[in-house]
Amino acid sequence: MSQLLLGYASRLLGCQSRSGSAATTAAAAAILSQQPVRHKSPLQKVRKRGPFPEWTKTDPDPHLFTRHIPKTDERRTKAVRPPGKYQIFSVHYDPIVNSFAGHFVKCGERDKLRDVFTQMMAEIKHIQMARRNAAPPEEKASIEVDPTRVIHKAVENCSPLLIIKHVFRGGFLYKVPCPLRESESQMRAFKFLRIASNVRGTKEHLYRSLARELVNASNNEGKAVHAKLQLHKTCEENRAYANYRIT
């Protein structure tokens, strides 16, 4: 046992010698004479129940070495949620576009969808640039060409503020307008856009119909925005039952 402890101590000191030289033994003895410290796991101090903060750029990248971070730095023990499965560390990464892509995935074929989205964003550029070339000079600046910004605007325009939930009360089914969380509102927007871009049969590719629908929605036109406005209208009609909601 003492041999094991000596070996441990010598490794701590960084020397590889197995033969007990005088200096090594003395140093090892010095370490061993100290009071044994019970090393608690550092995470024990900070372990708590969620929700944990999102991973940000200042937190250590899980793919890089961490030896250069000092041991007492709070980054070593800070509890953060691990990055998402499809969250890439790229200058071009956009969380809304990423979630939008995830909404369209069928049978787990996300790679196939990546190509569709690349074509779709190029198509948005083509549509908007053609429109900008044809527009009079005073309107040119107001036409947005960047596909990421067009998608943001379209999603914002399609996001409902209230949603109808069905509440069964006293033998009747009431349509009750309820508020939405931000993530749910975004999901509803994605769903409106997806359903609006569905074209029957193989007449048109998804990238083309989706690009057209996004451009329309960013201008507050089109089927997706119409669906959102219909929902708002239904909520307005049923506002008398708002107090029936179950939060």
Partner 1 sequence: RSIANWLLRRRQLSPFGACVNRRGGASAALLTDESAPDRHSLDRHVGLLYRPEEADWQAVTRHFCRPELVRLFDTLGQRALMVRRPALEIGERLAEHAGDGRPCLRFVLYGRRGSGKSLQMGHVASACRRRGWLLVTVHNAHLWMRHSRELHESAHRPGMFDTAGYGCIWLRHFYAMNQEILPGLRVTKELSWNAKESTPAGSSWKEVIDYALARPRYSCAAVQFLIDEIKLGSLPMPTLVCFEVANCLWWHRSGIKNDAIRRTPLQGEEPPWRADITAKQLTLLDAFKQLLDSDWNNGAAVMSVSPQGALFDRLREWMPRKLLGDEGFAYLDPFVPVYVEPYGPAEMSNMLNWYTESGWLTSEAAATDAGRAELAFLSDGNAGELLRIAGEW
- Interface residues with partner 1 (CB under 8 A)? 64-65, 67-68, 90-92, 117-119, 121-122, 125-126, 129-130, 133, 145-148
Q: Name the minimum Å distance from CB 19 to partner 1.
A: 31
CB of 130 to partner 1, least distance (A): 6
> Containing H/E element for 6?
helix 2-12
Nearer to partner 1, 202 or 247 (CB): 202
CB 211, min distance to partner 1, A: 11
Helices (H) and strands (E) in the chain, counts: 10, 2
* Alpha-carbon distance values, 164 to 150, 173, 227, 228, 243 (Å): 28, 12, 13, 12, 13
Closest by CA position to 150, among listed 183, 114, 120, 112: 120
Smallest gap, in angstroms, from Cβ of residue 144 to partner 1? 9
Q: Which is nearer to partner 1, 208 or 232 (CB)?
A: 208
* C-beta closer to partner 1: residue 71 or 92: 92
Nearer to partner 1, 188 or 212 (CB): 212
- In angstroms, give the least distance from the CB of 141 to partner 1: 13
Which tokens hold the place of 27?
């140093």
The token pair that represents 118 in the structure block:
């690349």
Identify which of residues 78 and 125 has a Cβ nearer to partner 1 in the complex: 125
The first and second tokens of residue 91, run together, are: 């200058």
Of the candidates 163, 130, 155, the residue with the CA atom closest to the CA atom of residue 216: 155
Amino acid letter for position 54: E
Closer residue to partner 1, CB minimum distance, 90 or 247: 90
Q: Minimum distance between the CB of residue 132 and partner 1, rounded to whole angstroms? A: 10
User: Which are the contacts of 185, defined by CB distance < 8 A and separation ≥ 6?
Assistant: 159, 160, 161
What does the block give as tokens for 125?
């550029």
